[in-house]
Amino acid sequence: MDAKTLARCTGARIDRAQRFAEPLSAAMAEFSIDTAGRQAAFLANVGHESGGLHWVVELWGPTIAQQRYEGRRDIGNTQPGDGFRFRGRGLLQTTGRANYAALSKALGVDYVADPDRLAQPIDAARSAGYFWQSKGLSAFADAGDFLTVVKRINGGFNGLSERQMLWADAKAALGLK
* Predicted structure pTM score: 0.95
Residues 152 and 172: their CA atoms lie apart, in Å, by 24
Residues 129 and 29: their CA atoms lie apart, in Å, by 9
Residues 145 and 137: their CA atoms lie apart, in Å, by 9
Q: Are 68 and 27 in contact, with CB atoms under 8 Å apart?
A: no
Q: Are 98 and 2 in contact, with CB atoms under 8 Å apart?
A: no
Residues 107 and 114: their CA atoms lie apart, in Å, by 14
Contacts for 2 with CB less than 8 Å, ≥ 6 apart: 21
Contacts for 134 with CB less than 8 Å, ≥ 6 apart: 106
pLDDT digit string, tens, across residues 75-112: 999 999 999 999 999 999 999 999 999 999 999 999 99
Q: To 10 degrees, what angle do helices 160-173 and 36-49 make?
A: 140
The pLDDT of residue 47:
98
Residues 170 and 157: their CA atoms lie apart, in Å, by 19
The 3-state DSSP class for residue 89 equals: strand
pLDDT-derived band at 177 (thresholds 50, 70, 90) equals confident
- Mean pLDDT (whole number) for 29-49: 98
- Mean pLDDT (whole number) for 27-52: 98
Name the residue ranges covered by the structural domains of the chain.
3-56+120-173, 64-118
